[in-house]
Structure formats: C-alpha cells, structure tokens
Amino acid sequence: MTLALIFPGQGAQAPGFLHRLPEHDAVRATLDEASATLGFDVTTLDTDDALRSTIAVQIGLTVAGVAIARTLAADGLNAAFYAGLSVGAYAAAVGCGAVAFGDALRMVRTRAELMAAAWPAGYGMVAISGLNETQIEALAAASPTDDDRQRVYVANVNAPRQIVVAGADAALDAFATRALDAGARRALRIAVTVPSHCKLLDDATSRLVAWSTDIAFHAPRGVYVDNRGGRPLRSGDAIRDDLATNMSHTVRWFDALTLMVESGATVFVEAPPGEVLTDITREHYPEVTALAASALPPDRLSAVVKRRLGDLCA
C-alpha cells in the first residue's frame, strides 16, 4: 500500500508541540541540527509567548514536520507522496529530498520575517465552514473597495465547503457576519496574524523569490504535490518556485489531497501538531486511512503506521 505524508500550516500550532515529538534518535538529531543552523535552541519556540510570533510558529512547524518524516524513514517508512499546506510545504520538500533541511529552515525564517514585516498588526485569517468557494467569492465581491488593504481574499480552499479568507481585522469581522447570515455554519478566527495567500504579500513574495535564487533544489524522491494547483512537481526549480511564491497565492489543498488519493495513496499521516488535514481526509475520502501523528502514542507511531499499511495489504 502507498504512504502519503501531509504537513499542516500555520494555525495548527499548540503550546508544547515540539516537546511531544517521539523520543527517537531522528527527532533528537533534527532538533540539534535545527538549533545549530539557526543559532538558538529551537525547543524554545513552542511556549505560549513564542507562539505569538509568526516566525516562531513557521520555524517550529517545519522542524516538527521534518522530525516526523525522518523518524518514519529511519523506521523503514518512506512515503510515495509529500504535500504540505502553506508553510507545511517546506517540510514536504525536505522530506522528499528536494532541499536540504538547513536551507529550508533559513528560507522559512526569511519567509516568516518578510510576512511579519509586511503587515505587523491588524490582519489575519478566518475559516468559513458551510459555503463553497463561489459563494465566498460572491460575498467578497459584494463589498467592493478601491483599497486592496481592506478587501477580503480567498486564501485556502481546504475542502469544498471549508474556505479560509484573509484580510484586515475589521474587514474579516464584517465578512464573518455576512457569511453567517448567508448560511455558513461557522466563521472562526484562526491563529494567524498576517494576511497569508493573497496579493497583500506580493512584495514579500518578490523578495523571497530573489533571496532563494541560489539555494540548491533537486528533483524529488517520490511525488511532491504543490500548493497553488494541486499538481505533482518534478523538478527542483518548480519546487523552489512553489515554496517561494505560495504565500501570495491561494492554497488549493483539496486539489492536492484529491490528486494523491486518485494517484493511489492509501495511508495518510499528518505531521504534528495538527489534525485538521486528517479530519478533511477522513470526511471526504473515507476509503483511505488517515492518521494524525499528534493523536498517536509517540513511541508507537511507526508501529501503528506499519500495521495500517500491512492491514491494507492483507
């Protein structure tokens, strides 16, 4: 059977998530490498205070994702598919061998610094459940403004009726009310303090593209699925472009998930600390197995994955 590793984005973080990673040589080596690369102890990134920083969150999620991918690989579990939502794509790229971990960490830190500097306060994201993308787009267009900073943008299409929007705080509050009036089941502010995945980050994207030009990227082992189109990317240059530009483009996660299922992925493992991607997979593709690493006993992760793969082969 075929394994897919999926990596959550910002908003999945929770206090202490790095300290709940498995006690495994691969995890310890990953934490040590990350600390040496960045020049500080990365296990300090998961406190309540630290997680108020976009920079800490994005680095922490990358470290956790790579630690889990390396743990599974060390135990003989190499995935055929790798995909990450937003910053989760960086761990996916490391996992499939497209970029070195140290280079990915430096790129994530630069990405997060550019995002935080672009809009240091007054912006964020809201998850809308119960309306589709067309309905969300129509609601956004119903309140036209000449000021791009006051618009609401479709940021993530996580599932057909789970859409995340980005924008200024006041615009998001007003939009959430309109969405609920239009039949949305829920409008939930998520733990992101920047307007990710929209044109408000075009300038930051241009800077990251220029910054990343000299980073070495390679063709992936297995299938790397991109954020912008839910497509498999075969070359290092294409993966570099996906990572460098995804912060200013809509993330089409459901397209990525669908491609993996239709291409034969049968067991999905979501890296810590989230379960949102697991829940989406279970709801829309109940015929596959979806496991959240954060919901499994850390010392049993590899054994559970092996058993589920074996059960499907039986």
pLDDT in tens, 110-161: 999 999 999 888 999 999 999 999 999 999 998 777 787 889 999 999 999 9
Q: Are 105 and 221 in the same domain?
A: yes
CB 208 within 8 A of CB 197: no
Tell me the two tokens of residue 134: 């067309």
CATH number of the domain enclosing 255? 3.40.366.10
Q: What is the mean pLDDT of the chain?
A: 95
Q: What is the pLDDT of residue 149?
A: 83
- Please pick, among 86, 196, 212, 248, the residue that the annotation labels catalytic: 86
Please give the pLDDT value at position 241.
97
pLDDT cut 70: percent of the chain above it: 98
pLDDT at 228 over 60: yes
| Out of 1-15, 89-103, 144-158, 222-236, least confident range | 144-158
Residue 23, SS3? Answer: coil
269 beta partners:
5, 291
- Given phi > 0 = left and psi -120 to 50 = alpha, else beta, which region is 143? beta
Q: Which of 145, 175, 192 is the last residue of a domain?
A: 192
Q: What is the pLDDT of residue 314?
A: 43
Task: Mark whether 146 and 250 lie in a shared domain.
Answer: no
**Are the C-beta atoms of residues 164 and 78 closer than 8 Å to each other?**
no
**Per-residue confidence (pLDDT) for residue 290, from 0 to 100:** 97
Cis omega (within 30 of 0) for bond into 273: yes
CB contact set of 12 (below 8 Å; sequence gap of 6+): 61, 273, 274, 276
List pLDDT tens digits, range 272-302.
998 999 999 999 999 999 999 999 998 899 9
User: Residues 46, 93: one domain?
Assistant: yes
Q: Are residues 254 and 308 in the same domain?
A: yes
Strand pairing class (81-84; 223-225): parallel
**Angle at the Cα of 242 from the Cα atoms of 238 and 247, rounded to 5 degrees:** 165
Q: β-strands 186-189, 123-129: how paired? A: antiparallel
**Is 256 buried (19+), middle (13-18) or exposed (0-12) by CB count in 10 A?**
buried
Mean pLDDT of 228-246: 96
How many helices (H) and strands (E) are present in the chain, helices listed first?
A: 11, 10
Contact 233, 97 (CB under 8 A): no
* Residue 311 pLDDT: 67
Judged against a pLDDT cut of 70, whether residue 255 lies above it is answered with yes
The reported pTM is 0.95
Beta bridge partners of 268: 4, 290
Tokens of 266: 């049968």
* pLDDT above 90: residue 91: yes
Query: Is the domain of 136 the same as that of 183?
Result: yes
List the catalytic residue out of 197, 249, 294, 302: 197
At 232, give phi and psi (nearest 5°).
-75, 135
As a whole number of angstroms, the distance between CA 181 and CA 275 comes to 28
The arithmetic mean of pLDDT across residues 246-256, rounded, is: 97
Q: Is 86 a catalytic residue?
A: yes
Can you tell me the mean pLDDT for 97-120?
96
Number of domains in the chain: 2
Domain that holds residue 175: 123-192
